[in-house]
Structure 1
Amino acid sequence: MVRAILIAILFLSPTAAFAQSAPPSTARDPAQTSQTAPSGGRNVVLLPQILADLFGPGQGGDAAPPAPNGASAPTDAAQGGGQGNPATQTPAPIQPPRTSPVTSPRAISGAFVPDEVLVTLDGGAGVAAEVAALFGLQVRSTRVSGLLGQTVARFGIPDGRPVGFVLAQLAGDGRLAARVPNHIFELQQAAGIVNYAFERIALDASEASGETVSVAVIDTALDPEHPALKGVVAGEFDALPDMAVKDRGHGTSISGLIAGQGPFHGMAPGARLLHARAFEGGISSTDVLLSALDWAASEGAQIINMSFVGPENPLFAAACRNAMARGIVLVAAAGNNGPGAPFGYPAAYDGVIAVTATDVHDKLMGQANRGRYVDLSAPGVNVIAPIPGGTDVVTGTSFAAAIVSGAIANLMRAGAKQEPAALATLLARTAVDLGPPGRDEDFGHGLINTKAALAGR
């Protein structure tokens, strides 16, 4: 029935039905029946009510928490062109897939900013402005992504059209390579005493070191005056420059667990720590995270810790693939949303090392995600970590991921192969099997064993 109605609409319309809406100055309600309006010498047809009904309301709406605005360089200034791993030749960027038209917002999984979409295109701010004008959108930011090799434009939807509806409209413009929602990501900290992590992962605290290894953390802001982090941070980037810093807790804990020194001994003291602030109030967006990932790659990060979880997003997936192609090891939290939760991304992307959390007895954290994407287990239940003003007990796959990032920095310093796939294979082969024999969906390959990995490198 729906197909027949669509065929009838196409037959009756004087031009192609997917030529979409008018520029802002002549924008109309997309629910109006088919009308034409001039735009740059073309007749533009407004989609009729029947198509709006088919797309239905977006899933962002009130169910999605307000996401931080993207932080982007103006116009065409390239950011994150990046040398990546200095020892690795930079391959040509993998282009994001040219997505097929979205047929219903119900196909959009996860929370997203309800009045924004992200697109990639060849060209700069001028092309983005033309596209925005044609479809009645606002250009909220544009920047060149070094990892994606294209301009990323963040468009605002000023008239209340659902995100799925706008993505379908944009499918008619051949200048756009990818069109995705601006998904929302959340930090992975669960509610939570000598730090037992060193013992459980077989890493000698007195010999632990990440000296000469560059480790980037994408997280909240950190406390630069904390005794464990003072003088440790080699570079900082603020992906939310227009938003006041209120939260420094999670970022302080993650960076401290990796590179803390002095009164608090991190897993890899001496590491060259690069810290990108991309979260406030526990949430971030795809656009913000892309800018932080670009920055980390451009600063020569060899390991990037991503202790957050969100839905699958093609742009972020492509950026992660390109980062790994440059030789950068990506470590991510598997998620704290329980056994029945959907896969957590970026941990579930191929090649990313997905880390779940265990306790002092090597028992799995009850809130941990499960799934075939889980690679490794590491201490993440009631571990001691720095917080602003001192230390505290923390729990979550976030902290397990940080411990694995620190362990990998030790391996790199000791001369282990730095290519991401080779390192992942080494860690899987030397892990201590937990749960059922072999790899399983709870513990992955098992508990990371730094001593065995050092011996087997």
Structure 2
Amino acid sequence: MFKSKIIILTSVVFCQFAQAQLVNPRDLTGSLGSVVDRVTRVEDKVVSKIDPPFTLSELPAIETLVTTPLEALPDILTIADKINTPLFTEVLVENDWRAVKQQWILLSDIKTETLLLQLGAKVQFRKQYSGLGLTLIHFEMPPSLDSKKALATHLPEEAMASLDRNHIYQTQSQDTMVDGSPIADSLASSQNQAFCDDPVKIGMVDSAINVNHPAFAGKDIKAKSFLPASLTSPSFHGSAVAGIMVGNIAEQPPLLVKAELFSAEVFYRQSDYAQGATLEAIVAGVDWLIRQGVKVVNMSLAGPDNLILEQVLNAVVKKGVVVVAAAGNKGPAAAPLFPAAYESVIAVSAIDKKSQPYRWSNRGAYIDFAADGVNVLTVRGAQEYATESGTSMAAPVVSAAISCVVLKSTDAKLVTKELVFERMSRLIQDMGPEGRDPIYGLGAVLRPYSNFIN
């Protein structure tokens, strides 16, 4: 401040006497005194307008300072391994969805494959998915033919009926509160009991699970990665989803006491705030789960409508396996997200502990059930617990409940969506308008749970 005062003083003095060639010392002394007084008064006014020193805790939240969502991604994103070797590139495609650059998937047909090669396609691989009973061709098209419109001029209608991009899908949970008082609030309001203590097989398509977390001690969890060998799946989202179904959290029993959980790892890190999964990995993961004999598949992910994804899940359901998916977190006015919006899939929206709709939960005629998905206490990090929000957290509650419902079926082939609805009717609570509605679907699976399976 002293240095600043000298600079200001010097400047003012220079301005006032720059034109004088001869200066009377007495006049100069008086003028200097007057200038000092003026500078001091200005300084006092400036200082009075400066707020007292602030601490870091008083800084505004980062989300109030940014103009784009934290999970926003660049239009072109190269996914690389730990040593920065590029593996594939994400790009924006039709309707602002994301997909692997120039990659497509198609139901296998030798005639179509031959035609694709003539068009300059690079067939990456042809694979038979024995669990699904499907054979798919994965290929890359040249830029000039990298659209359905362009391909439709060359491929027969039957080929176009199963052709689609290798789209990217994302997790459906959002940042919430971590360790602190919110956990105590969650414990007080969610003292749940197990849905059943029968040995059930349940699958999930998600990120990795931190099986070394204390919540999973003694749990039967089998995982398999469907990412490139040099790419590691993050464990936060998958651990949170698994924690809801089978985790021992705060000395509460898990929803499924004796579950055998199969985890298909498909998500990779896009940024510090986002995770993505390719359709290719999702298909391979679902196929593996079917071959393991699971009866319910939880998919806490969402993205675009895709012909291949729809046919894959239709094949799953025809085998008597129930698919449960998060409705999405795009908000009440958002368009339907997939796979939840497929007719064969059970869609789950999120509500809070007071049975009020989660503000970001998707709504629509395709919603089948609602469940607690706001500030849900679950697994976080290496040794931590935290609350998470989103339809990603609501879906595994319904998946766990349906796992116990499916047990009552003596013939797995008879497990249909209608049968699940009928057997879930004694658990759910109708909310909102009587009957099915776009917020709660047929009804809500509420916490705490009691007397579910007698």
Q: Does 1:346 align with 2:343?
A: no
Q: What is the match of residue 87 of structure 1?
A: none
Q: Distance in 2 between matches of 1:353 and 1:197?
A: 28
Flag the structure with higher helix content: 2
Question: Of the candidates 309, 329, 332, which is equivalent to residue 336 of structure 1?
Answer: 329
- In the TM superposition, 1:274-285 aligns within 5 A as 274-281=262-269, 282-285=275-278
Q: What is the match of residue 111 of structure 1?
A: 98
Q: Distance in 1 between matches of 2:393 and 2:132?
A: 29
TM-score of the superposed pair, with normalisation by structure 2: 0.69
Q: Distance in 2 between matches of 1:198 and 1:215?
A: 28
Q: What is the match of residue 437 of structure 2?
A: 440
Q: Share of identical aligned residues, percent? A: 26
Q: Does 1:237 align with 2:224?
A: yes
8 A contact 1:376–1:428 mirrored in 2: no
- In the TM superposition, 1:296-375 aligns within 5 A as 296-375=289-368
Q: What is the match of residue 123 of structure 2?
A: 139
Distance 1:377 1:236, change over 3 A: same
CA offset digits 1:80-127 (Å, max 9, x no partner): xxxxxxxxxxxxxxxxxxxxxxxxx86x6843333111111145xxx7
- In the TM superposition, 1:54-133 aligns within 5 A as 63=75, 110-122=97-109, 130-133=114-117
**Structure of higher CA gyration radius:** 2
8 A contact 1:302–1:328 mirrored in 2: yes
Q: Distance in 2 between matches of 1:381 and 1:179?
A: 37
Q: Distance in 1 between matches of 2:159 and 2:402?
A: 41
CA offset digits 1:247-302 (Å, max 9, x no partner): 11000111121112375642112101101101112111211111111110111011
8 A contact 1:253–1:386 mirrored in 2: yes
Number of residue equivalences: 353
Distance 1:278 1:138, change over 3 A: same
Measured on the aligned residues, the alpha-carbon RMSD in Å equals 3.2
Q: What is the match of residue 78 of structure 1?
A: none
Q: Which amino acid aligns with 1:434?
A: M
Q: 1:441 deviation in Å?
A: 0.7
Q: Distance in 1 between matches of 2:376 and 2:203?
A: 21
CA offset digits 1:290-315 (Å, max 9, x no partner): 11111101110111000000111121
Question: Of the candidates 384, 389, 402, which is equivalent to residue 408 of structure 1?
Answer: 402
Q: 1:169 deviation in Å?
A: 4.5
**Structure 2 unaligned spans of 5+:** 1-72, 82-92, 177-182, 270-274
Q: Distance in 2 between matches of 1:399 and 1:337?
A: 15
Q: Which amino acid aligns with 2:344?
A: G
**Structure 1 unaligned spans of 5+:** 1-60, 70-104
Q: 1:412 deviation in Å?
A: 4.0
Q: Distance in 1 between matches of 2:154 and 2:197?
A: 46
Q: Distance in 2 between matches of 1:427 and 1:143?
A: 37
8 A contact 1:337–1:367 mirrored in 2: yes
8 A contact 1:64–1:113 mirrored in 2: no
Q: Distance in 2 between matches of 1:240 and 1:64?
A: 20
Q: 1:414 deviation in Å?
A: 6.3
Q: Which amino acid aligns with 2:104?
A: V
Q: What is the match of residue 55 of structure 1?
A: none
- In the TM superposition, 1:281-292 aligns within 5 A as 281=269, 282-292=275-285
Q: Which amino acid aligns with 1:275?
A: S
Q: What is the match of residue 19 of structure 2?
A: none
Question: Of the candidates 416, 419, 432, which is equivalent to residue 420 of structure 1?
Answer: 416
Distance 1:167 1:112, change over 3 A: farther
Which segment drifts farther, 363-372 or 110-119? 110-119
Where 1:178 maps in the other structure, the secondary structure is coil
Q: Distance in 1 between matches of 2:80 and 2:294?
A: 25
